[in-house]
Amino acid sequence: MRRIHHSRKNILTISTAIFALLSSSCLALENNIGKTPQMGWNTWNKFACSINETLIKESADKIVELGLDKLGYKYVNIDDCWNAVERDSEGRMQADN
């Protein structure tokens, strides 16, 4: 049996191609919902728990500076380690107060 080595770059390229193919062949609603993926940016992807007001404002400004707002990017989602390390007695996540 021949073994195939998949690098992360190859998997990402293949995944992107499949997504593009499926996106172009799927029917979207006539109300424009579903014609694009979510158009926004999440702080967690870059800063994880190390965020502050300045970083949020700079990130939003960068979206505008790059012209991404004109391409449909509307959201800057703030994700800041809201959850506690321990779960409650029923196994549910809880807020870190």
**Whole-number pLDDT of residue 16:** 61
Residue 33 sits at φ, ψ, to 5 deg, of -75, 135
Of the pLDDT bands very low, low, confident and very high (cuts 50, 70, 90), residue 1 is very low
pLDDT digits (tens, 9 = 90+) for 60-84: 999 999 999 998 888 888 888 888 8
**Whole-number pLDDT of residue 87:** 93
Q: Where are the beta strands (DSSP E) in 1-97?
A: 40-42, 75-77
Model-level pTM greater than 0.75? Answer: no
Residue 19's CB is within 10 A of a number of other CB atoms, namely: 11
pLDDT digits (tens, 9 = 90+) for 2-60: 554 555 555 656 656 665 555 554 555 677 777 777 788 888 888 988 989 999 999 99
